[in-house]
Structure 1
Protein backbone atom coordinates (compact mmCIF):
# COMPACT_ATOMS: atom_id res chain seq x y z
CA UNK A 1 0.00 0.00 0.00
CA UNK A 2 1.20 3.51 -0.81
CA UNK A 3 -0.22 7.00 -0.38
CA UNK A 4 0.18 9.62 -3.11
CA UNK A 5 -0.55 13.10 -1.78
CA UNK A 6 -0.86 16.23 -3.93
CA UNK A 7 -1.45 19.81 -2.87
CA UNK A 8 -3.41 22.43 -4.81
CA UNK A 9 -3.86 26.21 -4.69
CA UNK A 10 -6.48 28.14 -2.81
CA UNK A 11 -9.72 28.52 -4.72
CA UNK A 12 -9.81 24.96 -6.04
CA UNK A 13 -11.32 23.38 -2.92
CA UNK A 14 -14.61 22.50 -4.62
CA UNK A 15 -13.07 21.34 -7.91
CA UNK A 16 -12.87 17.69 -8.94
CA UNK A 17 -9.51 16.00 -8.39
CA UNK A 18 -8.20 12.74 -9.82
CA UNK A 19 -5.21 10.46 -10.23
CA UNK A 20 -4.19 9.24 -13.67
CA UNK A 21 -1.33 7.46 -15.36
CA UNK A 22 0.46 7.58 -18.71
CA UNK A 23 -1.08 10.27 -20.98
CA UNK A 24 -4.04 10.93 -18.68
CA UNK A 25 -6.63 10.16 -21.31
CA UNK A 26 -10.11 9.15 -20.18
CA UNK A 27 -9.07 5.51 -19.95
CA UNK A 28 -6.00 6.46 -17.89
CA UNK A 29 -7.95 8.05 -15.04
CA UNK A 30 -7.73 5.68 -12.07
CA UNK A 31 -10.03 7.42 -9.60
CA UNK A 32 -11.66 10.83 -9.02
CA UNK A 33 -13.00 12.62 -5.93
CA UNK A 34 -16.51 11.94 -7.26
CA UNK A 35 -15.99 8.33 -6.12
CA UNK A 36 -14.14 7.68 -2.86
CA UNK A 37 -13.27 4.08 -3.76
CA UNK A 38 -12.67 2.25 -7.03
CA UNK A 39 -10.99 -1.15 -7.41
CA UNK A 40 -7.77 -0.89 -5.38
CA UNK A 41 -7.77 2.91 -5.26
CA UNK A 42 -9.16 5.18 -2.55
CA UNK A 43 -9.14 8.98 -2.59
CA UNK A 44 -9.68 11.64 0.04
CA UNK A 45 -9.71 15.43 -0.37
CA UNK A 46 -8.67 17.45 2.68
CA UNK A 47 -10.05 20.84 1.66
CA UNK A 48 -8.76 22.54 4.81
CA UNK A 49 -5.16 21.55 4.11
CA UNK A 50 -5.80 21.69 0.31
CA UNK A 51 -4.26 18.23 -0.18
CA UNK A 52 -5.88 15.22 -1.81
CA UNK A 53 -4.48 11.76 -1.19
CA UNK A 54 -4.86 8.60 -3.24
CA UNK A 55 -4.15 5.25 -1.61
CA UNK A 56 -3.10 2.35 -3.84
CA UNK A 57 -3.43 -1.11 -2.30
CA UNK A 58 -2.19 -4.54 -3.41
CA UNK A 59 0.91 -3.15 -5.11
CA UNK A 60 2.62 -5.01 -7.94
CA UNK A 61 5.61 -4.21 -10.11
CA UNK A 62 3.27 -2.94 -12.85
CA UNK A 63 2.15 -0.15 -10.52
CA UNK A 64 5.56 1.50 -10.71
CA UNK A 65 5.91 4.45 -13.05
CA UNK A 66 4.74 8.01 -13.68
CA UNK A 67 1.45 9.30 -12.29
CA UNK A 68 -0.33 12.63 -12.49
CA UNK A 69 -2.42 14.35 -9.85
CA UNK A 70 -5.05 16.30 -11.73
CA UNK A 71 -7.45 19.14 -10.89
CA UNK A 72 -10.35 19.48 -13.35
CA UNK A 73 -11.06 22.99 -14.56
CA UNK A 74 -12.29 24.78 -17.66
CA UNK A 75 -9.65 24.70 -20.30
CA UNK A 76 -6.50 22.81 -19.45
CA UNK A 77 -6.46 20.82 -16.21
CA UNK A 78 -3.77 21.38 -13.57
CA UNK A 79 -1.28 18.51 -13.29
CA UNK A 80 1.36 17.51 -10.75
CA UNK A 81 3.80 14.78 -11.75
CA UNK A 82 4.49 11.92 -9.33
CA UNK A 83 6.96 9.08 -9.87
CA UNK A 84 6.30 5.86 -8.01
CA UNK A 85 9.26 3.60 -7.41
CA UNK A 86 8.69 0.12 -6.01
CA UNK A 87 11.32 -1.88 -4.20
CA UNK A 88 11.08 -5.43 -2.81
CA UNK A 89 9.48 -5.46 0.62
CA UNK A 90 12.34 -7.41 2.15
CA UNK A 91 15.83 -6.77 3.38
CA UNK A 92 18.78 -7.38 3.17
CA UNK A 93 21.65 -9.10 1.32
CA UNK A 94 23.81 -8.99 4.46
CA UNK A 95 22.58 -9.83 7.95
CA UNK A 96 24.51 -9.06 11.15
CA UNK A 97 24.14 -11.85 13.71
CA UNK A 98 24.12 -11.06 17.43
CA UNK A 99 24.07 -13.72 20.16
CA UNK A 100 23.22 -13.12 23.81
CA UNK A 101 21.59 -14.72 26.85
CA UNK A 102 18.42 -14.32 28.89
CA UNK A 103 18.58 -11.45 31.36
CA UNK A 104 21.52 -9.74 29.65
CA UNK A 105 21.63 -6.31 28.04
CA UNK A 106 22.72 -6.32 24.40
CA UNK A 107 23.54 -3.49 21.98
CA UNK A 108 22.88 -3.56 18.24
CA UNK A 109 25.00 -1.23 16.09
CA UNK A 110 23.49 0.28 12.95
CA UNK A 111 25.87 2.22 10.62
CA UNK A 112 24.64 4.87 8.18
CA UNK A 113 26.08 7.29 5.59
CA UNK A 114 27.12 10.82 6.58
CA UNK A 115 24.30 12.42 4.54
CA UNK A 116 21.82 10.90 6.99
CA UNK A 117 23.28 12.58 10.11
CA UNK A 118 20.11 14.51 10.86
CA UNK A 119 17.64 11.91 9.62
CA UNK A 120 15.28 9.95 11.84
CA UNK A 121 16.67 6.59 12.99
CA UNK A 122 14.62 3.65 14.23
CA UNK A 123 14.48 -0.12 14.69
CA UNK A 124 11.66 -2.61 14.24
CA UNK A 125 11.10 -6.34 14.33
CA UNK A 126 10.75 -8.44 11.18
CA UNK A 127 12.11 -7.78 7.70
CA UNK A 128 9.40 -5.71 6.00
CA UNK A 129 10.67 -2.18 5.23
CA UNK A 130 7.18 -0.98 4.24
CA UNK A 131 5.81 -1.26 7.79
CA UNK A 132 9.02 -0.80 9.78
CA UNK A 133 8.59 2.85 10.79
CA UNK A 134 4.94 2.38 11.77
CA UNK A 135 5.93 -0.59 13.96
CA UNK A 136 9.17 0.92 15.31
CA UNK A 137 10.21 -0.24 18.78
CA UNK A 138 12.04 3.04 19.32
CA UNK A 139 13.10 6.08 17.27
CA UNK A 140 15.78 8.73 17.66
CA UNK A 141 12.99 11.15 18.60
CA UNK A 142 12.12 9.16 21.74
CA UNK A 143 15.57 7.71 22.61
CA UNK A 144 14.16 5.65 25.51
CA UNK A 145 11.15 3.34 25.38
CA UNK A 146 10.83 0.70 28.09
CA UNK A 147 13.66 -1.80 27.69
CA UNK A 148 14.91 -0.08 24.52
CA UNK A 149 17.36 2.83 24.29
CA UNK A 150 18.67 4.50 21.12
CA UNK A 151 21.93 6.49 21.01
CA UNK A 152 23.07 8.24 17.83
CA UNK A 153 26.81 8.84 17.37
CA UNK A 154 26.95 11.22 14.42
CA UNK A 155 30.75 11.37 14.49
CA UNK A 156 31.13 7.66 13.73
CA UNK A 157 27.93 7.49 11.67
CA UNK A 158 26.40 4.75 13.83
CA UNK A 159 23.31 4.57 15.98
CA UNK A 160 23.10 1.95 18.71
CA UNK A 161 19.99 0.30 20.13
CA UNK A 162 20.39 -1.30 23.56
CA UNK A 163 17.87 -3.90 24.74
CA UNK A 164 17.79 -4.58 28.48
CA UNK A 165 16.58 -7.69 30.35
CA UNK A 166 16.56 -9.92 27.28
CA UNK A 167 14.14 -12.86 27.04
CA UNK A 168 13.90 -15.75 24.58
CA UNK A 169 10.99 -13.88 22.93
CA UNK A 170 13.43 -11.16 21.83
CA UNK A 171 15.06 -13.61 19.43
CA UNK A 172 14.38 -12.94 15.76
CA UNK A 173 14.90 -10.56 12.86
CA UNK A 174 15.26 -6.79 13.24
CA UNK A 175 15.65 -3.91 10.80
CA UNK A 176 17.66 -0.76 11.51
CA UNK A 177 16.01 2.05 9.55
CA UNK A 178 17.14 5.52 8.50
CA UNK A 179 14.52 7.84 7.04
CA UNK A 180 15.46 8.93 3.53
CA UNK A 181 15.71 12.62 2.77
CA UNK A 182 13.72 12.42 -0.44
CA UNK A 183 13.96 8.76 -1.40
CA UNK A 184 13.01 5.48 0.24
CA UNK A 185 14.33 4.70 3.73
CA UNK A 186 17.62 2.87 4.12
CA UNK A 187 17.79 -0.39 6.08
CA UNK A 188 20.26 -2.87 7.52
CA UNK A 189 19.31 -6.27 8.96
CA UNK A 190 20.14 -7.87 12.30
CA UNK A 191 19.40 -11.39 13.53
CA UNK A 192 19.31 -11.64 17.33
CA UNK A 193 19.54 -14.99 19.09
CA UNK A 194 18.85 -15.04 22.82
CA UNK A 195 19.90 -18.34 24.34
CA UNK A 196 18.33 -19.90 27.40
CA UNK A 197 20.25 -19.30 30.59
CA UNK A 198 18.90 -22.32 32.45
CA UNK A 199 21.33 -24.98 31.38
CA UNK A 200 23.86 -24.71 34.20
CA UNK A 201 25.11 -27.82 35.99
CA UNK A 202 25.04 -27.48 39.77
CA UNK A 203 27.61 -28.73 42.25
CA UNK A 204 25.92 -30.78 45.00
CA UNK A 205 27.39 -30.42 48.48
CA UNK A 206 26.37 -31.95 51.82
CA UNK A 207 27.16 -30.46 55.21
CA UNK A 208 26.57 -31.12 58.92
CA UNK A 209 24.81 -28.70 61.26
CA UNK A 210 27.27 -26.76 63.44
CA UNK A 211 30.34 -27.43 61.34
CA UNK A 212 32.35 -25.23 58.99
CA UNK A 213 31.57 -25.33 55.28
CA UNK A 214 34.17 -24.45 52.65
CA UNK A 215 33.00 -23.68 49.11
CA UNK A 216 35.45 -23.14 46.26
CA UNK A 217 34.42 -20.69 43.51
CA UNK A 218 36.59 -20.48 40.37
CA UNK A 219 36.59 -17.42 38.10
CA UNK A 220 38.26 -16.38 34.82
CA UNK A 221 41.81 -14.99 35.25
CA UNK A 222 40.76 -11.67 33.69
CA UNK A 223 38.36 -11.17 36.61
CA UNK A 224 41.18 -11.06 39.15
CA UNK A 225 40.34 -7.49 40.18
CA UNK A 226 36.55 -7.88 40.01
CA UNK A 227 34.40 -7.88 43.14
CA UNK A 228 33.47 -11.41 44.17
CA UNK A 229 29.99 -12.33 45.40
CA UNK A 230 27.90 -15.09 46.97
CA UNK A 231 24.11 -15.04 46.87
CA UNK A 232 21.33 -17.46 47.74
CA UNK A 233 18.11 -18.19 45.84
CA UNK A 234 16.52 -20.63 43.42
CA UNK A 235 16.85 -18.13 40.54
CA UNK A 236 20.10 -16.26 40.01
CA UNK A 237 18.27 -13.04 39.05
CA UNK A 238 16.34 -13.15 42.34
CA UNK A 239 19.06 -14.37 44.69
CA UNK A 240 19.95 -12.53 47.91
CA UNK A 241 23.53 -11.40 48.50
CA UNK A 242 24.79 -12.99 51.71
CA UNK A 243 28.43 -11.92 51.39
CA UNK A 244 27.98 -9.54 54.35
CA UNK A 245 26.58 -12.23 56.68
CA UNK A 246 28.80 -12.32 59.79
CA UNK A 247 29.10 -16.09 59.45
CA UNK A 248 30.36 -15.80 55.88
CA UNK A 249 33.85 -14.83 54.73
CA UNK A 250 35.28 -14.73 51.20
CA UNK A 251 39.01 -15.24 50.67
CA UNK A 252 40.45 -14.63 47.21
CA UNK A 253 43.35 -16.65 45.82
CA UNK A 254 44.40 -14.90 42.61
CA UNK A 255 47.10 -17.48 41.93
CA UNK A 256 44.50 -20.23 41.48
CA UNK A 257 41.84 -17.90 39.96
CA UNK A 258 39.34 -18.85 42.64
CA UNK A 259 37.99 -17.67 45.95
CA UNK A 260 36.98 -19.64 49.01
CA UNK A 261 33.70 -19.14 50.86
CA UNK A 262 33.64 -20.07 54.54
CA UNK A 263 30.29 -20.50 56.30
CA UNK A 264 30.65 -20.95 60.07
CA UNK A 265 28.13 -22.53 62.42
CA UNK A 266 26.11 -24.06 59.58
CA UNK A 267 22.41 -24.63 60.13
CA UNK A 268 19.63 -26.54 58.37
CA UNK A 269 18.34 -23.16 57.14
CA UNK A 270 21.54 -22.85 55.10
CA UNK A 271 20.20 -25.57 52.81
CA UNK A 272 19.41 -24.19 49.35
CA UNK A 273 20.79 -22.95 46.04
CA UNK A 274 23.83 -20.66 46.00
CA UNK A 275 25.56 -18.68 43.26
CA UNK A 276 29.11 -17.42 43.44
CA UNK A 277 31.06 -15.54 40.83
CA UNK A 278 32.89 -12.42 39.74
CA UNK A 279 30.82 -11.14 36.81
CA UNK A 280 27.84 -8.81 37.50
CA UNK A 281 26.60 -9.51 33.96
CA UNK A 282 26.30 -13.24 34.77
CA UNK A 283 27.89 -14.38 31.55
CA UNK A 284 27.85 -18.11 31.06
CA UNK A 285 30.95 -19.74 32.53
CA UNK A 286 31.70 -16.87 34.91
CA UNK A 287 29.77 -18.18 37.91
CA UNK A 288 29.22 -21.38 39.90
CA UNK A 289 25.88 -22.85 40.99
CA UNK A 290 25.91 -24.82 44.23
CA UNK A 291 23.15 -26.98 45.69
CA UNK A 292 23.87 -27.18 49.42
CA UNK A 293 22.20 -29.59 51.83
CA UNK A 294 22.87 -29.22 55.57
CA UNK A 295 21.58 -31.98 57.86
CA UNK A 296 21.63 -32.82 61.56
CA UNK A 297 23.58 -35.93 62.62
CA UNK A 298 23.15 -37.46 66.06
CA UNK A 299 26.28 -38.62 67.85
CA UNK A 300 25.80 -42.34 68.36
CA UNK A 301 29.32 -42.81 69.66
CA UNK A 302 31.49 -39.84 70.47
CA UNK A 303 34.77 -41.75 70.00
CA UNK A 304 34.72 -41.72 66.22
CA UNK A 305 37.44 -39.08 65.93
CA UNK A 306 35.59 -36.51 63.88
CA UNK A 307 37.07 -33.03 63.95
CA UNK A 308 34.90 -30.69 65.99
CA UNK A 309 35.82 -27.68 63.87
CA UNK A 310 35.76 -28.81 60.26
CA UNK A 311 33.53 -31.69 59.23
CA UNK A 312 32.79 -30.88 55.62
CA UNK A 313 35.55 -29.62 53.36
CA UNK A 314 34.67 -29.13 49.74
CA UNK A 315 37.48 -27.71 47.68
CA UNK A 316 37.34 -29.18 44.24
CA UNK A 317 34.37 -27.55 42.49
CA UNK A 318 36.29 -27.16 39.27
CA UNK A 319 36.10 -30.84 38.41
Structure 2
Protein backbone atom coordinates (compact mmCIF):
# COMPACT_ATOMS: atom_id res chain seq x y z
CA UNK A 1 0.00 0.00 0.00
CA UNK A 2 2.77 2.45 0.90
CA UNK A 3 4.54 1.73 -2.42
CA UNK A 4 1.34 2.55 -4.34
CA UNK A 5 1.09 5.97 -2.63
CA UNK A 6 4.68 6.79 -3.50
CA UNK A 7 4.12 5.85 -7.12
CA UNK A 8 1.09 8.15 -7.36
CA UNK A 9 2.91 11.14 -5.91
CA UNK A 10 4.50 12.31 -9.21
CA UNK A 11 1.08 12.99 -10.78
CA UNK A 12 -0.36 15.38 -8.19
CA UNK A 13 -0.17 19.18 -8.37
CA UNK A 14 3.33 20.58 -8.73
CA UNK A 15 4.63 17.29 -10.11
CA UNK A 16 7.59 17.05 -12.48
CA UNK A 17 5.11 16.14 -15.26
CA UNK A 18 4.17 19.86 -15.32
CA UNK A 19 6.31 22.80 -14.32
CA UNK A 20 6.20 26.56 -14.75
CA UNK A 21 9.34 28.05 -16.30
CA UNK A 22 9.14 30.64 -13.50
CA UNK A 23 7.07 30.33 -10.34
CA UNK A 24 6.83 34.14 -10.01
CA UNK A 25 6.27 36.73 -12.75
CA UNK A 26 5.45 40.43 -12.81
CA UNK A 27 4.28 43.06 -15.23
CA UNK A 28 3.35 46.74 -15.29
CA UNK A 29 -0.13 48.19 -14.85
CA UNK A 30 -1.80 48.34 -18.29
CA UNK A 31 1.02 46.17 -19.66
CA UNK A 32 1.28 42.45 -20.23
CA UNK A 33 3.16 39.40 -19.01
CA UNK A 34 3.81 35.91 -20.31
CA UNK A 35 4.03 32.61 -18.44
CA UNK A 36 5.33 29.39 -19.94
CA UNK A 37 4.49 25.96 -18.55
CA UNK A 38 6.35 22.85 -19.69
CA UNK A 39 5.03 19.31 -19.59
CA UNK A 40 6.39 15.81 -20.08
CA UNK A 41 5.72 13.63 -23.16
CA UNK A 42 2.28 12.04 -23.26
CA UNK A 43 0.32 15.17 -22.30
CA UNK A 44 0.37 16.85 -25.74
CA UNK A 45 -3.33 16.46 -26.66
CA UNK A 46 -4.77 17.13 -23.20
CA UNK A 47 -6.59 20.40 -22.46
CA UNK A 48 -4.35 23.00 -20.80
CA UNK A 49 -5.76 25.75 -18.57
CA UNK A 50 -4.89 28.87 -16.56
CA UNK A 51 -6.82 29.65 -13.40
CA UNK A 52 -6.77 32.33 -10.72
CA UNK A 53 -7.07 31.90 -6.97
CA UNK A 54 -4.93 30.98 -3.99
CA UNK A 55 -6.79 27.72 -3.37
CA UNK A 56 -6.04 24.99 -5.90
CA UNK A 57 -9.43 23.30 -5.50
CA UNK A 58 -11.47 26.48 -5.98
CA UNK A 59 -9.47 28.54 -8.47
CA UNK A 60 -11.39 30.12 -11.35
CA UNK A 61 -10.36 28.92 -14.84
CA UNK A 62 -9.81 32.02 -17.00
CA UNK A 63 -8.87 30.33 -20.27
CA UNK A 64 -8.47 26.77 -21.56
CA UNK A 65 -7.27 25.02 -24.72
CA UNK A 66 -9.32 22.38 -26.52
CA UNK A 67 -6.46 19.87 -26.77
CA UNK A 68 -5.18 21.42 -29.98
CA UNK A 69 -2.53 24.02 -30.72
CA UNK A 70 -5.13 26.69 -31.49
CA UNK A 71 -4.90 29.81 -29.36
CA UNK A 72 -7.79 30.26 -26.93
CA UNK A 73 -8.76 33.71 -25.66
CA UNK A 74 -10.53 34.88 -22.55
CA UNK A 75 -10.98 38.33 -21.01
CA UNK A 76 -7.49 39.93 -21.30
CA UNK A 77 -5.84 36.49 -21.26
CA UNK A 78 -4.86 33.95 -23.91
CA UNK A 79 -3.32 30.47 -23.95
CA UNK A 80 -1.53 28.62 -26.75
CA UNK A 81 -0.08 25.11 -26.67
CA UNK A 82 3.02 24.15 -28.64
CA UNK A 83 2.76 20.37 -28.59
CA UNK A 84 6.05 19.79 -30.42
CA UNK A 85 8.01 21.70 -27.75
CA UNK A 86 5.61 20.52 -24.99
CA UNK A 87 5.08 24.00 -23.61
CA UNK A 88 1.98 26.15 -23.32
CA UNK A 89 2.13 29.90 -23.09
CA UNK A 90 -0.26 32.14 -21.20
CA UNK A 91 -0.36 35.87 -21.94
CA UNK A 92 -2.13 38.28 -19.60
CA UNK A 93 -2.82 41.75 -21.08
CA UNK A 94 -4.04 45.09 -19.79
CA UNK A 95 -2.84 44.22 -16.29
CA UNK A 96 -4.57 45.90 -13.37
CA UNK A 97 -3.61 46.25 -9.72
CA UNK A 98 -6.02 43.44 -8.87
CA UNK A 99 -4.30 41.13 -11.39
CA UNK A 100 -1.75 40.40 -8.65
CA UNK A 101 -2.71 36.98 -7.29
CA UNK A 102 -1.90 33.29 -7.24
CA UNK A 103 -2.50 31.52 -10.56
CA UNK A 104 -2.16 27.94 -11.71
CA UNK A 105 -0.95 26.31 -14.95
CA UNK A 106 -2.90 23.14 -15.38
CA UNK A 107 -3.54 20.07 -17.49
CA UNK A 108 -7.01 18.54 -17.43
CA UNK A 109 -7.15 14.79 -16.94
CA UNK A 110 -9.44 12.25 -15.36
CA UNK A 111 -9.10 12.29 -11.60
CA UNK A 112 -7.18 15.23 -10.18
CA UNK A 113 -5.80 17.64 -12.79
CA UNK A 114 -2.11 18.42 -12.89
CA UNK A 115 -1.33 21.94 -11.69
CA UNK A 116 1.56 24.17 -10.71
CA UNK A 117 1.39 27.47 -8.84
CA UNK A 118 2.57 30.80 -10.31
CA UNK A 119 2.61 34.06 -8.32
CA UNK A 120 1.78 37.17 -10.34
CA UNK A 121 2.75 40.61 -9.03
CA UNK A 122 2.29 44.06 -10.51
CA UNK A 123 5.32 46.32 -10.85
CA UNK A 124 5.19 49.70 -9.11
CA UNK A 125 4.53 52.82 -11.15
CA UNK A 126 7.27 55.43 -10.83
CA UNK A 127 6.14 59.04 -11.16
CA UNK A 128 8.74 61.79 -11.35
CA UNK A 129 7.87 65.48 -11.04
CA UNK A 130 10.17 68.45 -11.67
CA UNK A 131 10.00 71.80 -9.95
CA UNK A 132 11.86 75.07 -10.48
CA UNK A 133 14.42 76.89 -8.33
CA UNK A 134 13.07 78.34 -5.10
CA UNK A 135 10.56 75.54 -4.48
CA UNK A 136 12.96 73.29 -2.53
CA UNK A 137 11.45 73.99 0.91
CA UNK A 138 7.78 73.77 -0.14
CA UNK A 139 5.66 70.70 0.59
CA UNK A 140 5.49 68.31 -2.36
CA UNK A 141 2.42 66.11 -2.74
CA UNK A 142 0.86 63.62 -5.11
CA UNK A 143 -2.76 63.82 -6.14
CA UNK A 144 -4.02 61.52 -8.93
CA UNK A 145 -6.97 63.73 -9.94
CA UNK A 146 -6.93 66.48 -12.56
CA UNK A 147 -9.18 68.73 -10.42
CA UNK A 148 -6.95 70.11 -7.66
CA UNK A 149 -9.95 71.47 -5.72
CA UNK A 150 -11.46 68.03 -5.11
CA UNK A 151 -8.31 65.94 -5.14
CA UNK A 152 -7.38 63.66 -2.26
CA UNK A 153 -3.64 63.84 -1.59
CA UNK A 154 -2.15 60.36 -1.52
CA UNK A 155 1.28 61.26 -0.20
CA UNK A 156 3.30 64.36 0.58
CA UNK A 157 6.74 65.26 1.87
CA UNK A 158 5.44 66.00 5.36
CA UNK A 159 2.90 63.88 7.20
CA UNK A 160 2.07 60.24 6.73
CA UNK A 161 2.53 58.25 3.55
CA UNK A 162 0.28 55.56 2.21
CA UNK A 163 1.29 52.01 3.04
CA UNK A 164 3.75 50.56 0.49
CA UNK A 165 4.22 53.84 -1.40
CA UNK A 166 7.56 55.61 -1.33
CA UNK A 167 8.49 59.22 -1.97
CA UNK A 168 11.99 60.52 -2.63
CA UNK A 169 13.28 64.04 -3.23
CA UNK A 170 16.44 65.14 -5.02
CA UNK A 171 16.79 68.87 -4.32
CA UNK A 172 19.91 69.20 -6.49
CA UNK A 173 18.02 67.90 -9.55
CA UNK A 174 14.81 69.64 -8.41
CA UNK A 175 12.72 66.48 -8.69
CA UNK A 176 10.59 64.32 -6.49
CA UNK A 177 9.63 60.76 -7.37
CA UNK A 178 7.05 58.39 -6.01
CA UNK A 179 6.72 54.64 -6.42
CA UNK A 180 3.08 53.56 -6.30
CA UNK A 181 1.99 49.99 -5.52
CA UNK A 182 -1.56 48.77 -5.57
CA UNK A 183 -3.07 47.12 -2.52
TM-score range, shorter-chain basis? Answer: 0.5 to 0.7
Contact persistence 1:176–1:189 (CA under 8 A): yes
RMSD of aligned Cα (Å):
3.1
- Verify: 1:190 aligned to 2:115, yes or no: no
* TM-superposed deviation, 1:176: 0.7
For residues 96 and 124 of structure 2, the distance between their equivalents in structure 1, rounded to whole angstroms, comes to: 8
For residues 114 and 171 of structure 1, the distance between their equivalents in structure 2, rounded to whole angstroms, comes to: 31
For residues 147 and 113 of structure 1, the distance between their equivalents in structure 2, rounded to whole angstroms, comes to: 28
- Verify: 1:174 aligned to 2:103, yes or no: yes
Q: Please point out which of 58, 61, 64 is paired with 1:136.
A: 61
Gap runs ≥5 in structure 1: 1-85, 207-234, 236-316
Does the C-alpha gap of structure 1 residues 144 and 169 become closer, same or farther in structure 2, counting only changes over 3 Å?
same
* Structure 1 partner of 2:44: 117
* Structure 2 partner of 1:149: 78
For residues 145 and 118 of structure 1, the distance between their equivalents in structure 2, rounded to whole angstroms, comes to: 20
For residues 92 and 115 of structure 1, the distance between their equivalents in structure 2, rounded to whole angstroms, comes to: 17
Equivalent pairs counted in the alignment come to: 118
Deviations 1:222-265 (A, max 9, x none): xxxxxxxxxxxxx9xxxxxxxxxxxxxxxxxxxxxxxxxxxxxx
For residues 125 and 97 of structure 1, the distance between their equivalents in structure 2, rounded to whole angstroms, comes to: 14
Residue 115 of structure 1 aligns to a residue whose secondary structure is: coil
* Structure 1 partner of 2:27: 100
* Structure 2 partner of 1:312: none
* Structure 1 partner of 2:155: none
For residues 193 and 102 of structure 1, the distance between their equivalents in structure 2, rounded to whole angstroms, comes to: 10
* TM-superposed deviation, 1:187: 0.8
- Superposition TM-score, scaled by structure 2 size: 0.55
* TM-superposed deviation, 1:154: 0.9
- Superposition TM-score, scaled by structure 1 size: 0.33
For residues 204 and 160 of structure 1, the distance between their equivalents in structure 2, rounded to whole angstroms, comes to: 45
* TM-superposed deviation, 1:200: 1.8
* TM-superposed deviation, 1:100: 1.6
* TM-superposed deviation, 1:107: 0.7
Residue 98 of structure 2 aligns to a residue whose secondary structure is: helix
Contact persistence 1:96–1:191 (CA under 8 A): yes
Q: Say which structure, 1 or 2, has more relative contact order (CA 8 Å, 6+ apart).
A: 2
* Structure 2 partner of 1:229: none
Contact persistence 1:91–1:127 (CA under 8 A): no
Contact persistence 2:14–2:114 (CA under 8 A): no
For residues 131 and 78 of structure 2, the distance between their equivalents in structure 1, rounded to whole angstroms, comes to: 40
Contact persistence 2:101–2:121 (CA under 8 A): yes
Residue 189 of structure 1 aligns to a residue whose secondary structure is: strand
Residue 124 of structure 1 aligns to a residue whose secondary structure is: strand
